[in-house]
Amino acid sequence: MSWVGRFVALPCLSALLCAPLSGQQAAAVLTGRVVDASGPVLAADLVLTLDDDEVARGETDADGTFRIEAPPARYTLRVTRLGYAEDVRLVTLTAGAPVELAIELRPAAVLLEGVGVEAERSRERLRFEETAGASVREITSDELKLVPGIGEADPIRAVEVLPGVVSTSDFSSSFHVRGGSADQNLILLDGTPIFSPFHLGGFFSVFNADMVSRAELASGGFEARYGGRVSSVLSVESDPGDGTFAVDGGVSLLATRVAVSGGAGDRDVRWRVSGRRSYFDKLLAPVAEFPYHLQDLQAVAEVGLSLRDRLRFTAYTGDDVLDFSQLEDEDFPLRIDWSWGNDVVGLRWDRSLDRGRLSARASYTRFSTSLTFPDFGDTDFRSRISQRSFGVDWNLRPLPLLEIGAGAGVDDFGFDNLASTGGTVFSEGLGTGTQYGGYLQTVWGRPGTWLVEAGARIDHWVPAPGEPITEVSPRLAVKRFLGGSSRWAINASAGRYTQFLHSLRDEELPLGLDIWVLTGERTPHVVSDQLQVGIEAFPNDEWTFSAEAYVRTFDGVLTFNTTDDPNDDFDDVLVGDGLSWGADLFVRRSGTPVNGWISASFLKADRTFPDLYAGTVERPEVTYAPIFDRRLDLDLVLRFPAPRGWEGGLRLNVGTGTPYTRPVASYAAYQPRFLKDGGRAGWAGDSDDDFAGYAVLLGERNGERYPVYHRLDVSFRRDYQKSWGVLTPHVDLLNVYNQKNVLFYFYDYETTPAVRSGISMFPFLPTIGLEVRF
């Protein structure tokens, strides 16, 4: 048994056996939904008091539903939401007879200062009190829009400001978490996986900020219900609106977008639809032909079938098109038609039970790319991957101190990759795979004292071609509150995580597309054992603090084999393993005019693969730092009031240089001339025809590092209230002091000595945009 198995097995069993299954007073249950008096569902805070003493507290889910447990008694229930009059009523709770309420709140004039900050504090505090080991950070829709971006808010770009997250280039929004590769992040849109959620080769993400209510990143210790990836879980939740008709539009440097929301005449029906299109091709048409555009369409809808039942529908489709095939310029060197994009559709049914919740889900997601050359009809490059998912999740609280979660699902994958020209197939891959998964998760705890989460996943992978694989992934998390209060706590978690697909994208390129492959006879699966310990604190209503240390192993990672044999179908990738360890610090201040957070991360990551250039059948292994091994990464994010009613946002990022392989010398390369019947006609270099150019002698792989990276970004936005709606101009200033951060080095060996030059990342880049809401 692995160290994770030994660490987890005994405490898992102990937690289950020691749970207080008897001798406790049965709790009473209060459930229901909070709505606006005019119809839309609302998010609200609820407090139960007995003789003016608080007994229980809760908040509604995104669909307005709530559930509170307390000992049987007669209580005063207070329901509050900023901007609405408080609802106060008496409720009598009895054991075994759940009480259901439909609560209508009516708008009321209140002081609006600090709206978003207090709501965020409450959500983080509840997570701190109810979650044992997961490292979870959330960015709200308001914060998304104040994190400076390239023309418009981007949820994935905003994730870069969180601890443990590394981005290696200004030109790519792909990210790495705690030493994991970019393809090891599970990215969910309303619970549906999305493979490569990027436009323009990774420049920015497919998520339209007008459709996002919040983005939540679990960077470690996530629960057994999450499977399929080993590094992190990024959940992006769509906003279906409040059920009233509204229009949000925007124009930015990148694209024009519009979102329309409304209801269907019923307070339990909400929907929102958005569309976006870039205009590079139209804007540049008078001066040059640049036939590139992106377009996407996203929709979300929620339907309340009853007080207990809700349906949620999500859909997305988007394409990037780079089409030089219609150019009439005869001097254009190469005509291409290149397109890529995602399609996502998901449906989820949620039912509120007396002591829990039941959910059923079905989804389909696909990523595809295609490249053709009209002048070469026999050239074909394509890559596609798809996933069909079906699953059921069940959550039950049989006792006040015990919660049980269980679920099962089936995920059916397929991929098809091909690169061929002139009748020769240079690379191909075709296969399917089915993942049968199930999990059991228990949470036991005493408020303000202990929390224990014990669970396990079992995944059975059936590839074609390939042999079936079964992996058991135990997980355990423990939190101990200190000092008899819920303000300070220490935690520890350990677990095993598995993954049955890989991306073969070269992560050292600033822009690129993912080429996905499945585990099978040619590729292994990834197994990652992880351990983390930390301390968390809410010393007062303004400050949040956490510090964590972790270690992770990665067995079964892949990299390109750039020296593969074209006649060998099984050596185009190399299989290796990895190790990462480090620490993350997070300090947040809220509730004041100037608020924000600072995050600091230390990371040491290694990858070990067979040596590409050993030139032997049995290649020795080489260990090196991957491109995302940024030893120290520091982020400061602030929100602050600016003059004349403007609101400002600031991000300062400082990080040590990422690794690269340094050329140490160049030499003249010659090729011998051979006789027709064999043998060499002369020594290499006997004539000018033998000269093949200059070759480069490389140093230790990724043995050098680029200079320290640092960049300051600032944003400003202001709402102008009009009779017809709200007009919001915004300004983003990237790289304010024009720091020339290095992207690549180039070497000129034609001079003596050789001259090194570099290409920088973003220069000072001001952008403006305009949003309209009515």
**Three-state SS sequence of 721-740:** ECCCCEEEEEEEEECCCCCC
Q: How many CB atoms lie within 10 A of CB 144?
A: 22
- Domain layout of the chain by residue ranges: 3-105
One-letter identity of residue 102: A
Give a three-class secondary structure readout of 611-661: CCCCCCCCCCEEEECCCCCCCEEEEEEEEEECHHHCEEEEEEEEECCCEEC
392: tokens are 């059921």
Rounded distance between C-alpha atoms, residue 578 and residue 519, angstroms: 18
Q: How many CB atoms lie within 10 A of CB 423?
A: 6
Sequence-distant (6+) residues with CB within 8 A of 632 are 600, 601, 602, 654, 655, 656
DSSP sequence for 172-210: ----EETT--GGGEEEEETTEE-S--EEGGGTEES--GG
End-to-end CA distance of the chain: 61
- For residue 346, give the 3-state DSSP assignment: strand
Q: What is the H or E stretch that residue 607 is in?
A: strand 595-610
Rounded distance between C-alpha atoms, residue 181 and residue 170, angstroms: 17
Provide the 8-state DSSP code for 111. Answer: -
* Chain-centre distance for alpha carbon 522: 28
Rounded distance between C-alpha atoms, residue 119 and residue 81, angstroms: 9
Contact 764, 712 (CB under 8 A): no
Question: What are the residues facing 713 on neighbouring strands?
Answer: 651
446: tokens are 């005493």
**Successive 10-residue mean pLDDT values, the chain, 774 residues:** 42 39 60 72 74 77 78 87 81 83 74 40 71 84 78 83 91 90 94 89 81 90 92 93 88 86 79 89 69 90 87 94 69 72 95 87 94 75 93 89 93 90 75 96 86 95 94 95 83 96 78 83 93 92 91 92 66 88 94 90 94 70 93 94 93 95 79 57 53 76 93 94 90 94 85 84 90 88
56: tokens are 């229980």
Sequence-distant (6+) residues with CB within 8 A of 720 are 726, 727, 728, 729
One-letter identity of residue 477: A
699: tokens are 């140093």
Q: Tell which residue, 124, 85, 126, 90, has the closest CA to residue 107.
A: 85
- CA dist 232 to 134, 229, 528, 727, Å? 10, 7, 12, 37
Phi, psi (deg, nearest 5) at residue 513: -120, 150
Strands 73-80 vs 192-193: parallel, antiparallel or unpaired: unpaired
One-letter identity of residue 699: G
Provide the 8-state DSSP code for 588. Answer: E
Provide the 8-state DSSP code for 211. Answer: G
By CB neighbour count within 10 A (0-12 exposed, 13-18 middle, 19+ buried), where does 722 fall? Answer: exposed
Rounded distance between C-alpha atoms, residue 651 and residue 644, angstroms: 21
Length of the chain: 774
Q: What is the H or E stretch that residue 561 is in?
A: none
- CA dist 100 to 42, 68, 398, 713, Å? 17, 11, 18, 49
Torsion of CA 113, 117, 118, 122, to 10 degrees: 170
Note the pLDDT of residue 2: 46
Q: Tell which residue, 307, 308, 405, has the closest CA to residue 353.
A: 308
- CA dist 566 to 422, 465, 554, 614, 684, Å? 15, 21, 28, 18, 27
Sequence-distant (6+) residues with CB within 8 A of 218 are 134, 135, 136, 226, 232, 233, 234, 235
Residue with tokens 């080769």: 201
Contact 153, 209 (CB under 8 A): yes
Q: Tell which residue, 404, 401, 445, 452, has the closest CA to residue 22.
A: 401
Residue with tokens 């959940």: 235
Degrees to nearest 5, angle at CA 264 with 262 and 269:
80
Strands 647-655 vs 709-717: parallel, antiparallel or unpaired: antiparallel
DSSP sequence for 653-704: EEEPPPEEPPEEEEEEEE---B-TTSSBSS-TTSSGGGEEEEEEEE-STT-E
Phi, psi (deg, nearest 5) at residue 678: 105, 160
Q: Which fold has domain 3-105?
A: Immunoglobulin-like (2.60.40)
Q: What is the pTM of this model?
A: 0.84
Rounded distance between C-alpha atoms, residue 609 and residue 619, angstroms: 9
Q: Tell which residue, 35, 40, 115, 119, has the closest CA to residue 83.
A: 115
Q: Tell which residue, 303, 330, 173, 286, has the closest CA to residue 243.
A: 303
CA torsion sign for 232, 186, 145, 723 is negative
Rounded distance between C-alpha atoms, residue 490 and residue 669, angstroms: 61
- For residue 12, give the 3-state DSSP assignment: helix
- CA dist 306 to 62, 65, 303, 309, Å? 16, 11, 9, 5
- Around 473, how many Cα atoms within 13 Å sit in the side-chain half-sphere? 31
One-letter identity of residue 241: G
